[in-house]
Structure 1
Amino acid sequence: MCGICGICNPRGVETSLVEKMTHIMFHRGPDSGGTWLNDARTLALGNRRLAVIDLDPRSNQPLHYPERGLSITFNGEIYNYTEPRKELEALGHKFRTHSDTEVVLHGYAEWGFDAIHKFRGMFAFALWDDNKKLLWVARDRLGVKPVIYYHQGDVFAFASEIQQFSQCEQFKLSDDVSALYDTLTYGYIPSPKTAFKELRKLEAGHYLVWQDNKLRDVKYWDVTEFGTNRISANDAISLIREQLEQAIALRLVSDVPVGTLLSGGIDSSCVTWYAQKNADHPLYTFSIGFDEHSELEFAKIVADAVKSNHVVRHYDVASAKEDFARWMFLYGEPHGDSSIFPTTLVSQMAREKVTVALSGDGGDEIFWGYKRYQHFAEHNGQHGFPLRGAFRDFVHKYYPFMSKGRIRSQLYLLDDFELWCVLMGGFPKADKERLLNAELLREFRDYDDYWSWRRFWKSELPLATRLQYLDLKTYLPDDIMVKVDRASMAVSLEAREPLLDHKLVEAAFALPDKLRSDGKTLKLIFKQAMRGVLPESILSKPKKGFSIPWMTWVKSMPDFAQQRGDGGFFKRGLSLPPNYTVLVLQQWLKR
């Protein structure tokens, strides 16, 4: 795991600028760092390395293949790197290191852009071909690793984090008000937008090609097979078990200590179970609990069953007060996911013992695990009754803003995207009218609030698959993976997500819809596959997300919770609701 950056400028690159961008991301790779300029001084690459595979200094980056004029800065891991390496060696390639990064260099030399289809892992990299004067910037299929880029005129730059641009005065940035507005809808800023007009996020499963001062965006991967694998339930269970164990075993490849983040839910329990099964020594497992909100008893059941070295800590509101300001700005832009707190804390715990930790992220998206899927199915199609408009006006007038009664009533009044917005915890247009100043409302009167969801809404798919795919393309890469990357990298921990192995994802989506979901049981096929593997208490317990007791905590943080709009974005004098997204956005606007 590392941090990357680079600049292309035909008029020359300032060495001090790429060095500063590299230093800003020191936390992403404390083991070594380096920068490199091409002979023409029109391109610079930077890297901070967290050494995980091949600890030899020869694998420090940027890494080069001088015989072919290739250089690379790489972030992530290619878990199956030994497979393409053997292919390349059979074709006559000679390697100087044992790193997966060098395999990417030689893979491009042999197969060009098609090399990416041979890589199984999480990655973000930039590869310079000096012969073709071409820069190839790629992001992994599921968006586990980030790429932020800047393209103004004939200058192109990229980085792992927004702060590598926002903290460098050479990049003239301006707020993208539409992206800040989007935060209230989604709880995050959806790709390809960032909080700044001049910066963009490279989307998951895409790569960029910069050549002749022109930028080309290419989508190289997507889920394309939905319900096409017509197999029996028993065969589906065997397939899922096989793919799970293979994906988890692959992610144990490391030259440094590995552990697991164990929440006590079925996803992290599955990862922990198969990880320990495939390890040759007791692994460390890490769990965190909160006042009034804990699954530690279930985490202990799994830890005891696999006989791991289990580490537990409790987190309370007093700790949250100290950590809030520091952790809220890890993203470099407003981000309304309060689980940044437990994610960062459990990452801190893990880093005291290990350098790599496997997590259970992604299980809800690929195995139909969110309660909102059930709620959407229940209320979908109930918004077409004749008096909808009058009833809606009544609800907005007489139910208190953000009250449970108002939210529940709205579920029967909203169209598909408004319904999804409310279920995701966002603000539909009618609620934004209660929050935002009049000038801003006029500016966004005809704005499509749901543009990001609309891009990936496949109406031809069965409802269950449609909602999973929507989350896979939006919420997963833009919220969950951003949170996990920033929280883990802030403490120099490599987080790995085996449930997002692209072969497992493809296998799960290809199963018949009725095997993945009966419309009632969350994670139906996953639970069936884990029956007889995990303790029954883990499989039968109600779902509980990895979150904090926010509404309890916020009462103890009056300085943060009791805020009023200043008229610039929110209505002047308006007492802002104790909604985490709203309050984070307000703090960001005050920066």
Structure 2
Amino acid sequence: MCGIVSLYNKRQKPVQQEAISAMTGVILHRGPDDDGFHLEDNIALGFRRLSIIDVEGGHQPLFNETRDIWIIGNGEIYNYKELQQWLKDIGHVFHTDSDIETILHLYEEVGTDAPKHLRGMFGFTIYDSRKKRLFGARDHFGIKPLYYVETNDSIGVASEIKSLLELPGFKREVNPTAFYHYLTFQYVPDPETMFAGIYRIPPAHSFVVENDQIKLERYWDVEFKPDESKPFSYFVEGTRSVMLESVDKHRISEVSRGAFLSSGVDSSSIVGMLRTFEPVKSFSVGSDIPGYSELDYAKRTAAYLGSEHFERVINAKQYMDELPRLIWHQDEPVADPSAILLYFVAQMASEHVTVVLSGEGADEFFGGYNIYREPHSLKMFSGMPGWMRQSIGYMAERLPDQVKGKNFLIRGSKTVEQRFFGNALIFSEEMKKRVVMEDITRSESYVSPFTITEEIYKRASEYDDVTKMQYLDIHTWLRGNILMKADKMTMANSLELRVPFIDLKVFEFAATIPTKYKIANGTTKHVLREAMKDFLPPEIQSRKKLGFPVPTRHWLKNEFYKWAKEIIFESKVDNLINKAYVLYMLDEHREGNADYSRKIWTILVFMLWHQIFIEQKHNFEPYVSPNVDLRRKKNSSLQHIG
């Protein structure tokens, strides 16, 4: 796990060492163990290393036998041993046992098709001096981040946005279109970022920089292939088998491992499966507000599974004190309160291990969110002609809010494409008009959120409604929220996170499960629950998903109230946000007249982000936790388990 930076000078001038050093130094937390650089012609590669595989020999940048191809890479390749052996058999000479060197020789053999052969999480850049080009790619699902920017002089690619902000002359400005989308989704959907001019390289895409241009190309796509001919037992047995194999693959390292544990099926399954291979350290976090902590369940689960368990309780002050720095680590505003608790559990885990396994992705792949049950509950509307559904919706909109069933009729009157934006829908278009200063109906930068979802739904037009929802979440919620916070909050603690559910082989099998076996027996991800039964305590097998719940609803009425008001008054966003309306929501929420907690939190996170990155009110220096040195001593005698 590392941080990478590559820089291409469009004026064909040499890149200065000071420039690439500054861009690499600001992501010290991603790789406190080592750094490395390669400057040649008009390019520069910069690298920060967190040593995981081939600790002694995996220094980067790495080069081929003739030193005309160089690589820097972030991530882990779980099939690198098989690829390495194949490449050795056909004559390639390896200087290290690094998985990243395997990508280098694979590129020599198959060129820009290299990403198609990889199983893992990755973001990498290759400099091919023979062709005078940079080539790179991001993994299939977006587990590892990769961003790019183009200025008058340069094209830069990096693991984190803050590296690109170091480019001389780059002007920090809010991307207004991204801001509008953020108000809908609570994050910025691909490929935009909240910074004007900086973009994400989307998952499953490669890039080429040559002739002073950057071009992106998709190398793989999500495809569901439900197999109705197989019995339920086939999918249960297959899920158990593919998941055990994935967990085993995700153990590869030369350093200590552990796992996050909440109290749901996903993380508990990971701990249970990992426990079949080795002793496990598990880590949980909760708040000090009753009803917002799952520590008791997690503790009982850990006892049942036999893991060495660690937990931490977080209060409002700790959360508030750390929030600005953690928004700096995120690069962009992501208004998911659980991201901050994820940081605290990662901080605790970093005292004991270098690698953690976690349960992200199970819901998207196996159909786990409760909202996926909605198509079944609205089935009565699906056979109605369009005009009838529209009429029902028209009448329902005019019913008083207190009329029972109003929302059911409204949602039933809409198609899944009209009602489902993913797991977060913060501000409706009507509420945006109240919270945004500009008249969005006349704004040149305003783009309807339907432009994001419409293109995704088009590619999923042949699927049933539940699968369409999964497809949308994989392309929005998973990459924009779940994986973004997972990477940034763990790397803030120089901790590598691995996600065995989000594996190419796992997805290929999960994609064959028919919807009738995913949403069944009154629950979600039915196949996965059955497949994991042997690894879970009975009380966990059917629990609702909560993850790491955060009491922002309570805190905004109490401990956070004055602090929130200060942020609203101080933040210089008057051209973007109607502060009077935000203050109205805050007071209404405090008085208990409405629950505006998610909306208020979305605005507060944006305001803090604006203070940090645009106003530059806070100055955060690269920081490495003292836990890293403590951990190095503990890891010094560990052996490779390959």
Give the shorter-chain TM-score range: over 0.9
User: What SS is found at the alignment partner of 1:357?
Assistant: strand
* Aligned partner of 2:21 among 4, 19, 24: 19
User: Does 1:99 pair with 2:104?
Assistant: no
Distance 2:37 2:423 in 1: 45
Contact 1:154/1:213 (CA < 8 Å) preserved in 2? no
Give unmatched runs, 5+ long, in structure 2. 383-387, 586-596, 616-642
Of 287, 291, 302, which aligns to 2:284? 287
**CA distance 1:69–1:172, shift in 2 (3 Å):** same
Query: Does the 8 Å CA contact 1:440/1:569 hold for their aligned counterparts?
Result: no
Alignment gaps of 5+ in structure 1: none
Structure 1 residues 237-316: aligned runs within 5 Å = 237-279=236-278, 282-290=279-287, 291-292=289-290, 293-316=292-315
**Which residue in 1 is equivalent to 2:609?**
588
Percent identity, aligned pairs only?
Answer: 32
In the TM superposition, residue 144 of structure 1 has moved relative to its aligned partner by 0.2
Residue 407 to residue 327, structure 1, CA distance change in 2 (3 Å): farther
User: What residue identity is the alignment partner of 2:115?
Assistant: I
Q: CA RMSD in A?
A: 2.5
Q: 1:410: Cα distance to partner? A: 6.1
SS class of match (2:582): coil
CA contact (8 A) 1:464 1:519 kept: no
- Tell me which moved more, 386-395 or 291-300: 386-395
Q: Give the 3 Å change call, closer, same or farther, for CA 411–315 of structure 1 in structure 2.
A: farther
Q: 2:34 aligns with which of 32, 35, 45?
A: 32
Name the counterpart of 1:429.
Answer: 429
Of 297-306 and 133-142, deviating more is 297-306
Paired residue for 1:327? 326
Give the superposition deviation at 1:61: 1.1
Find the counterpart in structure 1 of residue 110 from structure 2.
Answer: 111
Whether contact under 8 Å (2:142, 2:202) holds in the other structure is yes
Conserved? CA contact 2:433–2:440, under 8 Å: no
SS across alignment from 1:510 = coil
Q: Secondary structure at the match of 2:102?
A: helix
- 1:571 Cα offset (Å): 2.1
CA shift in 2, pair 1:407/1:312, >3 Å:
farther
Q: Deviations over 1:72-91 (max 9, x none)?
A: 11000011211111111111
> Do the aligned residues in 2 keep the contact of 1:407 with 1:422 (CA within 8 Å)?
no
1:559 alignment partner in structure 2 = 562
CA contact (8 A) 2:422 2:469 kept: no
Give the deviation of 1:166 after TM superposition.
2.3
What is the match of residue 522 of structure 1?
524
Q: CA deviation at 1:418?
A: 5.3
- TM-score when scaled to structure 1? 0.92
| Residues 184, 250 of structure 1: alpha-carbon distance in 2 compared, 3 angstrom cutoff | same
Distance of 2:320 and 2:124 partners within structure 1: 37
2:128·2:134 contact (CA, 8 Å) conserved in 1? yes
Number of aligned residues: 580
Distance 1:200 1:135 in 2: 17
Match of 2:480 among 474, 478, 481: 478
Q: In 1, are the aligned partners of 2:2 and 2:48 still within 8 Å (CA)?
A: yes
Sort the Cα spacing of 1:8 and 1:428 in 2 relative to 1 into closer, same or farther, 3 A. Answer: same
Which range moved further: 191-200 or 450-459?
450-459
Is the Cα contact below 8 Å between 2:422 and 2:473 reproduced in 1? Answer: no
TM-score (norm 2): 0.85
CA apart distance, 1:298 = 2.5
Task: Determine the C-alpha separation between the residues in 2 that align with 1:142 and 1:230.
Answer: 28
Return the offset for 1:537.
1.2
Contact 1:33/1:47 (8 A) holds in 2:
yes
Cα offsets for 1:428-453 (capped at 9, x unmatched) = 21111121124445206973222222
Q: Alignment partner of 1:158: what SS?
A: strand
AA aligned to 2:389 is G
Farther off after superposition, 6-15 or 80-89: 6-15
8 Å contact 2:146–2:200 — kept in the other structure? yes
2:463 to 461, 464, 474: 461
Instruction: Tell me whether 1:84 sits opposite 2:83 in the alignment.
Output: yes
In structure 2, do the counterparts of structure 1 residues 298 and 8 end up closer, same or farther at CA, with 3 Å as the change threshold? same
Distance 2:423 2:100 in 1: 41
Residue 309 (structure 1) shift: 1.3
Q: What is the CA distance between 1:491 and its match in structure 2? A: 0.6
Per-residue Cα deviation, 1:286-345 (whole angstroms, up to 9, x for no partner): 111222212223322332233221111111212112122222332222211111111100
The question of whether the paired residues in 2 share the 8 Å contact of 1:392 and 1:413 is answered with: no
Aligned equivalents of 1:183, 1:454: Cα separation in 2: 17
